[in-house]
Each structure stands twice: as structure tokens, then as C-alpha cells.
Structure 1
Amino acid sequence: MGRLSLNTMVLLGAMAGLVSGLGAPQPVLDTAAVVSDLFIRLLRLVSAPIIFFALLSTLTGMKNTTHAKKLAGMVLKYSLLTTLIAATIALAVFLVIDPVRGVTGMTGTTEGTVTGGYGQYLLSLIPNSFVAPFVDNQIVSVLLLALLLSISILSLPERKRDILHELFDSLFSAIMRMTGLILLLLPLAVWSFVTDFCQTLENQQMLAAISLYVACILIANLIQAIIVLPGMLMLKGLPPWKIFKGILPTLTVAFFSKSSSAALPSAMENAEKKLGISSEISRFSFPLCITINMNACAAFILITVLFVSMTYGVTYSGLELVSWIFIATLAAFGNAGVPMGCYLLSSTILASMNIPLNIMGVILPVYALIDMLESAINVWSDTCVTSVINKEVNESDYIAINN
């Protein structure tokens, strides 16, 4: 099933869900409930392994030669910085717009609510065994384990590090094959989610909330793309408009293909020929950035998880909301290679929190448009990071030569 045909089937599933949700007999509604529960169970099955092996395969693939290590460190620094800023902006926009205000009538579990104080919550993130986070499907603990294990592996001799990277990369590929099979059920799952969702609508409150949610996504991403990233370029003495014009053909490819990877060849060519970035830096930075520099994905994950969970009654303290900045950043960091990227990661995190995914079925048709914007913004961020690194390397080389 091709990408276009899958999108068409998803749209048909959503339309069928609207029809059945507004006037189907009880047996159809019961069937929809079973299908949605099955899909959620399958998502929970792969959620923790996806994030664990994605982060491990990404981090352990970093080389340890002196020059490559220096460049990788610079890419990592700016990728983390811009992604953290994107997640912070997303939280601020979410709190200002408050898309869940006035929403009532949504029922479901609220196991995501944190009890016992924030200190107890932090303590609960440290597992008492290596397998406990996977058994309990605690995504935050899984991220923590992956991060600690990756740091440890990077300190090993090169031979052992390469063996482990190959192992984790192969396991990640296997998990993604399994995920691809699960996603074949997506049109049917969307039908079931929309059918269930139609039963919970009261006075179109959720339709208004969905509109505000989409506004949060768009505003947060546009602030990052129009203000934050150009601001970083100007701080480094680089002309944002000139860089934007030079990389515009690549952004067009990313927008319409909805894929950062598909835009990679164009990104490197335009960076070298139009922006004057050295081929060594371009061919190192862009592939690594496309893997780990996911500004728009972090914003999407944070806003989506908070929106859906709070709609179902989950509450968060101020410190817990701040913690989601780091959770979303780490989750986006391990996003590489995941089909439907940010959407699937958000769904798996929500599933691990035992939050109903009905609303995610309604968000999915809109996500096709959101994904286009996110892909372009991610590539724009990759370009900005690569441009900054190119200037810093040139300046350091100039200083070295003249000293």
C-alpha cells in the first residue's frame, strides 16, 4: 500500500466513522470499540521498544574520531538548544491559548495524573530493574534508560561500540517492520476512533477545542521558524533572508514530500552551491541533523500529549508541565525513521499513559497538513544549524592559522 493510497484510505475511514458514529446501530458501535482497543494494545506493544531503540541507534552511531566528534558535538549542541526552545515555546503557546478550556463530557481513564508530589513522581521515574519500564510501559523511564545506556556505550572502545550500534540499529529496523504491519490497520482504526468520538461530542465543544489545538501547533511552529531560528542566525552575524532564499527549493521539497529525508540531497546541494557551506560540513551536518534535529516534532508531541490527556481529565502541576519540555525533546530526538513520525510517537506516549486515543483519530486527517509544515520547519532548522556550524568552524580555522 503506497503512501497516497494509505492517506486516501485514512480519509475514507474518517468519513465512514462520521457516518457510523452519528447513526449506526449498537453492534457497529460495539465493533468500533473492539477495533480501537485492539489498535491501542498494538501501539502499546511497540511504543517502548520504538523509542528505546530509536534513541540508542541514533546516539551510538556517532563516531569518536577527533574531528567528527567535534562536529557531532556542535550539531548535538545546537540541535538540543533549538529543540528545547521549540518545546518551551510550544508549552507557552499551549498555556496561553488553553485549547481544553470549557471542554466537558469527555470520559476515560486518568491514570496519567501524577499523585504523591513531584518528588515522588521523579523518584518513580528511576526504575528498580532494567525491564520494569518496558513491563509497565513507562515511556519517560525508557527514555532515561536509553540515554544512560547510550552515554555508556559511547565511552567504549570503537570495536565494541560498532558492534552494539549494529545490534541496536538492526533491532530498531525489525521493530519498525512490525510497526509498518500495525499501521496497515490505520484506516480501520481511524474509523473506530471517529465512530467512538462522535458519541462523546457535546455542543460541538470538542470541534472548537480541536481548532484551538491546531492553532497552538501552527503558532508555536511559526514562532520557531520566523523568530527564533532567524534570531540565532543574526546573533552569529549570518543573513537569515539570504539563507532562506538559498534553501527555499529544498524547503519546497520537504513541504510537499512531508519528509526531511527526501529533501536531504537537495539540502546538501543548495547549501554547498548557494550558501557556500563546505561540502565536509554539509555532508556531515545535514544527515545528522535530519536524524536528531526535530524542532517541530517536539512542539507537536508536547502540545498533542497535553491536549489529549488534559481533555480526558489528567492534571499537571507547574513542574510537571515543565518536565514535558524535556520529555518531548528526548522523544523528538529519537524520532528518526518512525513512520508518521511525531503522530505515532505522540500516540504511543498517550497509550502508555492509558489515555484513550479517540481524539487522535480525529486529529489524524488534519495531521497530513501539519506534517507538511513540520517537515519544512525541521529542514529550515537543519539549515540554520549547519550554517552556524560552518561559520564557527571557519572562524576557528582562521584563528588557528593566524596564531
Structure 2
Amino acid sequence: MENLQKEPSGSPTNAQAALKKNTRVIAFWFFALVAGGFLGWLQIGWLNELFGFIATVFTRLFKFVAVPVIALAVITTLSQLGAKRETKQIFAHAIFYTLATTFAAALVALGLFILIAPENVPAAISAAGSAAVPKNLQSLSYYDHFLSVVPDNVLHPFLEGNVLSVLVIAVAVGLALAFMPRTEGRDSLLRVIFGLQELLFTLIRALLFILPVGILAFAGQLSSQIEAGVIVGSLGKYVAVVVTGNLLQFFVVLPHFLLARRINPLRVLKGMFPALAVALFSKSSAGTLPVTLASAEQNLRLDRRVTRFVLPICTTINMNGCAAFILVTSLYLMQNAGIAITGGTMAVWVVVAVIAAIGNAGVPMGCYFLTLSLMSSLNVPVDLMGVILPVYAIIDMIETAVNVASDSCVATMTDHDLKGKLPPAESDAPDAPVPQAA
């Protein structure tokens, strides 16, 4: 495996050509966003149906590659790094920055909750939302959620798309390969695994090539929904707290983390733009992982040993936007249920929100379902979740983009801290080529 930080950048002419190409691609993506939004706003029936079809196709394709990407990235990385010191270094930095950014997101949201102080929703409105609450989730407990992470067979987590269970399996297999004796059977197995990864990244390159069509459809679909009144109304101050908290995390908190490590936030934002755009519309950080990996490795030139270890893990545990949503929504539901919200209660729930976010799966509406299960397990009335549901589509988009931005920042800061400190990479199997992000 090559250390991308040490790759030559090429001649100035090549660097300028690459910069111009990247700028053109980003401009094309912006054009697709604007054009899709405008076409969706026109409310052309057959065109909106086409946008819906294309958006569904791309969502399914992302789900198709997301779970194998997580499994193969973790397995191949751990199989080479094993229990070596660099693995511990990478993991320690990733966990530190994950906890730091997630706690920061929760604290920012708490500050806004105290400052804006959303009032209780009238009982009639809250009761009216009971019909919209997914009834099959009210019986779930938080204990059941964590128990579901433990796989009971190999295939079930992959078929169900259970990201956390897949991560557990991948870590176990990767570590087992790392500690196995270097036999011919182990080498043959690794060659197959790396071959599968190469095949998957070839599919990802093809998907990224046609992705502007998907962005056009996603933007058109969202615009038509807003214009048609599907996504309307809000709970006012509550929505303001959640959305503002996420925006502050994206535009203020995360850039300051990067600046503290002397990293240019604009460079990171520009390099990760493809992944952020996909996250915004797909509403799945796990589904966005292929583009996140490609953007980090190709645009930011991060060490693959860092990206392929940190990003799959961060996709499942680094949930800044989710922590803010869980904290604010839990406090809001408890407040509406008549539970006194004291300083001690807030402090406890900051910790609970961070832990819950770490245990959340990076899938659409994951935070919503997790908060619903958490409140149900505490016997807090969840009728208000039905009132929140119509506006959660917008919240989910924003918080997913924040999650992916945070993943990117954690990987970038880890790579920055360990630059020059990791030993030359060993290779017991060929690396899969880096998919082109932009």
C-alpha cells in the first residue's frame, strides 16, 4: 500500500491542469444542483416522475456498494496493519477527534436550546402526530438496538444493511488475517479480497462518472417536493435550534478544529465537495462512503492507510449532526411530557446523546428512529415525533452533510498529525486503485 502523502505531485503544468479539471468538475456539479432545483420548481409532472425514478436508482446503487466498501476497506486495512503501532496511532487519533467533534456538536446544540428556549407544543397538535409515528418502533428498546449490532450469522447483516454489524464482522476478519501465520492459503485469500476491492472501486469510478445526473435528479426531486408543499411547516424554535446547531458545526466549529491543526478549511471543503453533495441528497453517510473515500484519497491526497481505516469507522461512530438532533429532540420531548429539564439533566443528556450518536447507523432517518426508540424505552410520550416527521427530511439532509464533513475533518486531522510518523507501508497484496472523485 502506498503512502499517498509521499507521492510526487508532478510538474507545475500537470498540477495546474489537475486544478483546472477539478474546478470545471465542481462548476459542473453546481450547475447540476441549480438546474435540478429550477426544473423541479417548474412542477412538470412527467419530469418530476423521472427525477424520482433516477433518484431512487442512484440511492439503490449507493446502498449496493456501501456495505461492501465498509467491509473490504476495514478488512484490507487491518489485515496489513494488524496490531502494529501505526494501527493504534491511527485509531487513537480518530477516536480522540471523533469524541471531540461530537461533544462540540452536542454542546453547541445545548447552548442554542437554552438560548432559543422552544416552547411546548399544544396538546392537540402533539396528539395529532401520533398517527404518523411508526408504530412498530415504539416497542423497541435501546437495549434491543445495541443487541441487534451483535451478528448471529455472516450473511444477515449484509442482507439487512446493518452497518454496525458489518463493521464488527469486518474488524474481526481483518484482525484474524493480521494474526494468521503467513501461509499460502492466507496469501491466496488476501489476493481474492484485494481483487474484490479493485473490482468494487472500478464500479465506484463508473458510478462517480454519471453522478451529476443523480445530483440533477436529487435536486429536482427536493425542489418539487418543497414547491408542492410536501415539506412544509415547522415547530419553529425547535427546528431553528436543530438546524442552526448543525450549520454552526459545519461552518464554524469544524473549520476551527482544522485551523487549530493549521489545516486550510477551504481546501478540505473544496476537496470533499462531491461527498458533501451526495450526503446532502442521499441522507446516508454510509451510502456516501464510496464518494467520501474517493474524495479524501484523490482530492485531498490523504494516506490510504488513514482513510481506509478512519472513514469506514467514522461513518458508523462519528455522528455530529445526529448528536445534536438526539440531544435537542430528547430534551424537547421530555419538556413537552412535563419532565423538569434541570442543569444536571442537560449535562447527563449531552453524554447520552454522544453515546447514542456513536451507536447510530449511518442510514437515512437513523437518528429519527434511534431517538424514537430511546424515548420509548424511557416511557416518554413519542406522539410529538409524528409532528416532527414532515420536517425531518430537511433536518436529515443537513445533519448527514455535517456527519460526512466531520468524518472528512477527522481523517484529515489524523493524516496531518501522523504525516511522516507512519513507517513505510508494507504490502502483502496489491492495492486497489483509488477511484476518481472529481
TM-score range, shorter chain: 0.5 to 0.7
Cα pair 2:245 2:324 within 8 Å, conserved: yes
Could you tell which deviates more after superposition, 295-304 or 356-365? 356-365
Deviations 1:133-184 (A, max 9, x none): xxx9985xx59xx7xxxxxxxxxxxxxxxxxx9992338996999999xxxx
2:381 to 332, 340, 356: 356
| Letter paired with 1:343 | Y
Cα drift, residue 101 of structure 1: 5.5
CA contact (8 A) 1:350 1:356 kept: yes
Tell me the TM-score normalised to structure 1 length. Answer: 0.59
User: Is 2:387 aligned against 1:368?
Assistant: no
Q: Distance in 2 between matches of 1:274 and 1:167?
A: 33
Q: Which amino acid aligns with 2:336?
A: T
Shift of 1:105: 7.0
Tell me the residue number matched to 1:240: 265
CA-atom RMSD in angstroms = 3.6
Distance 2:241 2:282 in 1: 23
Cα deviation, residue 305, structure 1: 0.8
Q: Which structure 2 residues correspond to residues 4-403 of structure 1 after superposition, within 5 A?
A: 64-100=83-119, 139=142, 168-170=150-152, 210-336=235-361, 340-397=365-422
* Letter aligned with residue 376 of structure 1: A
Runs of 4+ displaced beyond 6 Å: 104-108, 171-180
Whether contact under 8 Å (1:86, 1:296) holds in the other structure is: yes
SS of residue in 2 equivalent to 1:314: coil
Separation in 2, partners of 1:219, 1:230: 16
- Summarize deviations over 1:346-397 as a string: whole Å, max 9, x none: 1011111212221101111211111111111100001111110001010535
The equivalent of 1:124 in structure 2 is none
Q: How many residue pairs end up in the alignment?
A: 268
Per-residue deviation, 1:104? 6.6
SS at match of 1:169: coil
Letter in 1 for 2:96: K
**SS in structure 1 opposite 2:151?**
helix
Q: How far apart, in 2, do the equivalents of 1:269 and 1:311 lie?
A: 44
CA distance 1:396–1:289, shift in 2 (3 Å): same
Native 8 Å contact 1:103 1:209 kept in 2: no
Task: Confirm or deny: 8 A CA contact 2:275 2:288 kept in the other structure.
Answer: yes
Displacement after TM superposition at 1:259 (Å): 0.8
Q: Which residue of 2 aligns with 1:116?
A: none
Distance 2:161 2:244 in 1: 31
Q: 1:345: how far off?
A: 0.8
Alpha carbons 2:284, 2:364 under 8 Å: kept: no
How far apart are 1:278 and its partner, in Å? 1.3
Q: Any stretches of 5+ residues in structure 1 without a counterpart?
A: 9-60, 109-135, 147-164, 181-206, 399-403
Taking a change above 3 Å as real, the CA distance of residues 174 and 352 of structure 1, as seen in their structure-2 partners, is farther
Amino acid in the other structure paired with 2:318: N
Q: Is the 8 A contact 2:286 2:362 kept in 1?
A: no
- Give the Cα separation in 2 of the matches to 1:375 and 1:288: 15
Q: Give the superposition deviation at 1:304.
A: 0.6
What is the rounded CA distance, in whole Å, between the counterparts of 1:379 and 1:330 in structure 2? Answer: 18
Q: Distance in 2 between matches of 1:369 and 1:67?
A: 40
Letter in 2 for 1:273: Q
Secondary structure at the residue paired with 1:168? coil
- 2:274 and 2:83 mapped to 1: Cα distance? 34
CA–CA separation in structure 2 for the residues paired with 1:238 and 1:319: 36
After superposition, give the CA deviation of every residue in 1:227-277 in whole Å (9 maximum; x if it has no partner): 110001001010001110111111001111111112111111111121121
Code of the aligned partner of 1:247 = M
**Structure 2 residue matching 1:262: 3-state secondary structure:** helix
CA–CA distance in 1 between the matches of 2:157 and 2:267? 42
Offset of 1:66 from its aligned partner?
3.1
Fraction of identical pairs, as percent? 36
Output the amino acid matched with 1:170. D
Cα distance in 2 for residues equivalent to 1:138 and 1:304:
17
Preserved CA contact (<8 Å) 1:300 1:342: yes
Q: What secondary structure, in the 3-state scheme, does the structure 1 residue paired with 2:246 have?
A: helix
